[in-house]
Structure 1
Amino acid sequence: MPKPRSRKRTEKSPMRSVFVRYMFIVAFLIIWIGIIGARLVHLQITQHDWLKSQAESTRGYEHKSKMLRGTIYERDGGVLAMSIQARSLFADPKFIEDEKSVSEKLAKVLDLDRKALAADLKEGRENGRRFIWIARKVSDEVFRAVNKAFSDSGDEAATTVGHPGLGWRKEQRREYPHNELAAHVIGFSNSNDEGQSGVERSQEDVLKGETVSKWRERDRLGRVYIETGTEREPPKDIVLTIDSTIQFDTEMALAKGVKDANAIAGKAVVLDHKTGEILAMANYPTFDPNRYSESDPETRRNRVIEDNFSPGSVMKMVTYGAALEERKISPEAFVNCGNGRLTVGGYTFSDSHAIGSVSYTEAFAQSSNVGAIRTGQSVGQDTFYKYVTEFGFGSRTGVELPAETEGQLSHPDAWGGMSLASMSIGYEIGVTSLQTAVAFATIANDGVKVQPHVLKEIRQSDGSTVSTVKPKAERVVSIETARNLRKMLREVVLNGTAKQAQLQGYSSAGKTGTAWKYDPQLRRVNRAKYISSFVGFAPADDPRVAIAITIDEPRGGLRYGGQVAAPVFRQIAEKVLPRWGVPPDGSIPEDIPLFDDPAEEPMLAVEESEEDAADPAEAETRKETSVPEPRKKEAEALKKEDLDPENVAGDRPKAIRPAEKKKT
């Protein structure tokens, strides 16, 4: 028989049950409160910034825009480079499953490779890419064509792409309205609106458009009623010294000159010697900055300031200028050029033909190497070096363009026994076309050298002037020396090697130069390759412009500076002077044929001990050549000077060491 339950235990059971239930409720409340608290902490602390941005986005948003890049103008206000709003097409591969169909439509409109585009879209989708550029900064015509291609109705007025995986973004496109005109001066900017060459690069900080971020708030109808943000200074505009008409005429004349000479390249620069303003700077071949990616990088180089070359007889202007300034010579005094040969430091320099004892003016006009070397020797190497540097050689001109080279000029401490002689006639030195233009502009400007520049002024977008370029100026030689040199340079055009530089209605002055090019592969000069030049100014007595022309490797029947470069100078000068309102001075050019002027033949020097062995035919010729009867007095004079007449006789060009390319 079962025992009866205890009354005490029976009485506690209801109390225990209530307690358990109570504790369960309390635990539940604690957990619930903990969850709520944790959620509140998460929302209020962890996700505070995100929730705030989400709330603000319902009534406001951040608006980013890039200011248009500054405009580049020519001196008379014409636009040379400008930026306009454009659209760029992009793709989100996630929403393009029909890449073959999409690629086919885009390829037809954008002239793209259909298979390559389809592969890119497929690869992007498989790799999770959400953004791919299809075409950057397209024209309005292309924009409409793409929209029409994806419009169900073929609507030409469609403003969006009818495909969820394609879209447009606003950007800016750089345009160069005159295409190739002044391309090497202006330069170009890339697809990210960053200047890559020319003024576009050197003035990047002035021209670039910054990205501006502003916060906009809108009302319930989506209308913006508040806009806040930091104001940025807008890009500035630039005015160049370039005259577009002169630039065009220069480019046309240079292109014709290069083609007529069957040359590989050419360069030209037109300079206002009084102000230092560069009115034109041209290279041929050239390129179109609107399609810079289609051009050869070599073509985009500005050879006027980037290429070194041996100036040859052009350098004789500096040689004679130094001697005149130091009172070592006078234009009317005589210099003994003998029979055209002179030995210096164990090397023999030659003229193309003997001219005997003549005035310094005639020796200069006939481009005598012997005369120039004797003139350089009268000055001495240290003084000569001083004038070479003061005329601007061996250092950058400071023009506001990138990649300018300083040329090649060693210090006299590093010169050899024949260095002074070589430099006196334009060897053992490398120069740029702009440096030669500046040197001759110094003589045109009565001996004052003015720093060349392509920037005229910087303006705000509203047209107000921010700054005007004020170039440096320094005197190199006296007014007397400059004017004597101008007369001597005038004689070069009238009766010397530059008769093709005579102008219709205007007087002109200048110096020719023809040199063999140094070939780095041969490690010596290549006697089959020439570089020919002419540098001058006009009018001769009261100059208005200085012009430098260089023709690289003329390969036709004509090759001398007086034949291929001087005519280009003439074509340019005859258009520039009337445009600038310069009255004619009545000069009438002679009818000069493009003959082979022996005074222009490049000359080299050979070591005296090797001279006869170098060329047996020439050696035999020299043995048969005696001092001409009219030159016997000169030979006697040389003996009185303790000089061997045989070292200044002969009429054939000689060879030279690799580093010395001598011209006349």
Structure 2
Amino acid sequence: MEVFNNYTRSIIVLLLFCMLYGVIVVNLYFIQIKQSDFFKNLGNKQYNVTIQSYPQRGEIFDRNNKPIAINNDSISAFILPKTISNKEELTTFLEKQFPQAVARLDAYEHKNFMFIKRNLSEEEITAITTNNHPDIHLLKESSRFYPYESLGPILGITDIDNNGLFGIEKQYNTQLQGIPTTYNLKKDAKLKHFYFSKETTQQGIEAEPITLTIDADLQFKFQDILDQTLANCDAKEAAAVALDPDTGEILAMVSAPNFDPNNTKDLQIETTKNRPISECFETGSVIKVFAALAALEENITTIDEIIDCENTKETKIDNIRIRTVVPHGKISFKDIIKYSNNIGIVKITKRLGTNLYDYYKALGLGELTGVNLQGEQKGFVNHPTNWSAYSIQSLTYGYELTTNLLQLARAFAVIVNDGYVITPQIIQQKNIKKVGPIVSSQTIQNMQDILEETIQSGTGRRAKIAGYKIIGKTGTSNLLDNGLYNDDKHLYTFVGAIEHNNYKRVIVAYVKESKKVTYASLVAAPLFKKLAETILLHDQIFIT
């Protein structure tokens, strides 16, 4: 009987072990086979992190290969919320050093990754390393640095992830960013460090650098001059463009006030504007240059034709009142432009009729320049179907049409480059895009003679530089204020060019709402002269 009981107990124990083994086998089956994907994913979530690593962002260079947007290492701090070892100590530290991170901690409790803060200051890095909390990790990231503050409105900036937000950084973001490489990260036993797994899930493509036509040193010098002009004239804003009229390359494009692209904490949107392309205005008498060009090309006048300007500041033509600043009697067409007489120029352009509109459009006024920069405004030229009895006179001296500075520079370049309309370039390239010639060489010569005399003894004489050929024209216009022209708010503009032997440069500038001057001849012409002297010295163009 005792033997039987022992045998029975042995069988029961064996059966129990078999059942237990069976349970284990079944569980292993479910774990290893049926639920293998679930547990693999669970393990991966706990110990693996898949990230994308972008290549170093492409640098941007000026025309002389000087770096103007470069990469700069920054340090970021992060935690792994699902594997925090001591939440109480971590929270205490974060409340003291990074209170904004504490507010996000609960929301990220079940996440694999959370940034505490990116782009840490030296003080913040020291606080983290001194505390040496096991749950806080440091990560080196790439950020952007801009050596030339004056290039801010052109280059734009990047965000915390190094994505372009505006300007060149935004326009060419794909080229500058490249394509990221995807990696699988695993943490080590101490939970402090990461290493890249040997397997790369997707190989990226390197970023490409960009070279601009801008001369960074010239840009810096132009910026300094514009800032001084704003201060001296107590003006609201100013802008300037320097252009190679033969190639269309933009050498400088300056806005004032501007912003520091390395310090955007209190960024004001107004200061980020690239004003030479983003701001369109009625520019006043500088437009007479193009009205005169059209009249000469159409052979409806000559530079020597005598026009009766009636020796008055105010008259009526076809019952439309015309005003001019300085009265003149009977003077030549050349002198009408030279002295900027409104009465005389209107008498000539009335002969043009709607052809005036056609020439303005052929010169690119009221059209995008093709420069491929964000934020360019095209402006407009009032179409003849919308003309009133006042339109011819308004269009003659710069009203009923709005242009940006780059449009003016492109149009004025026609007088310097043998009659071609060029496409301005901001990115260095071999192809020069131009159309024309749209006017004859005789018209070009006549316009150069007129505009050179304008500088020598006319309204632009404050732009004269001894020993160099300077051509140009001033313009003063009233600004709209709540839909009405304000006699106390003006735009002062100058369009001009420097020539010396084979050297040619077009410079266009404006100053807006000066509280100390009333005419472009007193502010825009001297500004042009300073800019022209600067570029001549910069390019080492000396009189021999």
TM range (shorter): 0.7 to 0.9
Pick one of 479, 483, 497 that aligns with 1:537: 497
What TM-score do you get using the length of structure 1 for normalisation? 0.72
State the 1:274 CA deviation.
0.8
Task: Please say if residues 87 and 143 of structure 1, whose CA atoms lie closer than 8 Å, have aligned partners that are also in contact.
Answer: no
The correspondence of residues 244-255 of structure 1 with structure 2, limited to 5 A, is 244-255=216-227
Note closer, same or farther for the CA distance 1:74–1:358 as it changes in structure 2 (3 Å cut).
same
Question: Do structure 1's residue 292 and structure 2's residue 292 form an aligned pair?
Answer: no
Counterpart residue number, 2:513: 553
1:317 corresponds to: 289
TM value normalised by structure 2? 0.87
Distance 1:120 1:207, change over 3 A: closer
Q: Tell me by how many angstroms 1:46 deviates.
A: 2.9
**What is the deviation of 1:127?**
7.6
Paired residue secondary structure (1:423): helix
Residue 359 of structure 1 is matched in structure 2 by 332
The one-character-per-residue Cα deviations of 1:411-432 (angstroms, maximum 9, x if unpaired) are 2111112112110110011111
* Counterparts in 2 of 1:184 and 1:98: CA distance versus 1, 3 Å: same
Aligned position for 2:350? 377
Separation of aligned partners in 1, 2:424 and 2:196: 51
Q: Is the 8 A contact 2:182 2:204 kept in 1?
A: no
Q: Indicate the SS of the match to 1:548.
A: strand
Shift of the 422–126 alpha-carbon distance from structure 1 to 2, 3 Å rule, reads: closer
Tell me which residue corresponds to 2:190: none
Structure with larger Rg: 1
Q: Is this contact kept in 1: 2:185–2:195, CA < 8 A?
A: no
Write out aligned runs for 1:505-520 (5 A).
Answer: 505-520=467-482
Tell me, what secondary structure is at the counterpart of 2:447?
helix
Q: Show the 5 A alignment for 1:580-619.
A: 580-584=539-543
Q: Does 1:137 align with 2:126?
A: no
**Residues 54-69 of structure 1 mapped to structure 2, 5 A cutoff:** 64-69=52-57
Q: How many residues align?
A: 526
Letter aligned with residue 292 of structure 1? T
Q: Distance in 2 between matches of 1:413 and 1:253?
A: 43
- 1:172 is aligned, of 142, 150, 153, to 142
* Contact 1:314 1:512 (8 Å CA) reproduced: yes
Which residue of 54, 59, 64 corresponds with 1:76? 64
1:8-65 CA distances to partner (integer Å, 9 max, x unpaired)?
Answer: xxxxxxxxxxxxxx99x9999799858845752453143237439959999x996742
- What corresponds to 2:362 in structure 1? 390
Q: What amino acid does structure 2 have at the position aligned with 1:363?
A: I
Superposed CA offset, 1:363-395 (max 9, x none): 1011011122122111111x1111101111111
Aligned residue in 1 for 2:534: 575
Partners of 2:370 and 2:319 in 1: CA distance: 39
Q: CA deviation at 1:171?
A: 1.8
**Secondary structure, aligned partner of 2:263:** helix
Give the % identical residues: 28
SS in 1 for 2:74: strand
User: Secondary structure of 1:536's partner?
Assistant: strand
Distance 2:153 2:49 in 1: 43
> Which whole-Å CA distance do the structure 2 matches of 1:301 and 1:452 have between them?
19
- After superposition, the CA RMSD in angstroms is 3.5
The alpha carbon displacement at 1:539 in A equals: 2.3
Label 1:122 to 1:309 Cα distance change in 2 as closer, same or farther (>3 A): closer
Deviations 1:109-139 (A, max 9, x none): xxxxxxxx43751663488376554432236
Report deviation, 1:329: 1.2
1:475 corresponds to: 437
Pick one of 557, 564, 585 that aligns with 2:523: 564
Q: For 1:493, which of 448, 455, 464 is the aligned residue? A: 455
**Equivalents in 2 of 1:500, 1:542: separation in Å?**
24
Unaligned regions of 5+ residues in structure 1, if any? Answer: 1-21, 107-116, 151-161, 458-467, 586-664
Deviations 1:67-116 (CA, angstroms, capped at 9, x unpaired): 1110000111110001133221235676442578525763xxxxxxxxxx
The offset of 1:456, in angstroms, is 0.6
C-alpha change, 1:543 and 1:537, in structure 2 (3 Å) is farther
Cα distance in 2 for partners of 1:129, 1:434 equals: 54
Structure 1 63/380 Cα, relative in aligned 2: closer, same or farther at 3 Å?
closer
Q: Cα distance, 1:266 vs. partner?
A: 0.4
SS in 2 for 1:289: coil
- Secondary structure of the corresponding residue to residue 293 of structure 1: coil
Matched to 1:518, the amino acid is L
The alpha-carbon deviation at position 295 of structure 1 amounts to 2.4
1:97 and 2:97 equivalent? no
- Structure 2 CA distance for aligned equivalents of residues 133 and 352 of structure 1: 65
Partner-residue secondary structure (3-state), 1:213: strand
1:121 aligned residue: 102
Cα distance in 1, alignment partners of residues 61 and 335 from structure 2: 46
Give the gaps of 5 or more residues in structure 2: 1-10, 187-193
1:206 and 2:181 correspond:
no
Determine helix, strand or coil for the equivalent of 1:252: helix
Give me the whole-angstrom Cα distance separating, in 1, the residues matched to 2:433 and 2:472. 25
Deviation at 1:574?
Answer: 1.1
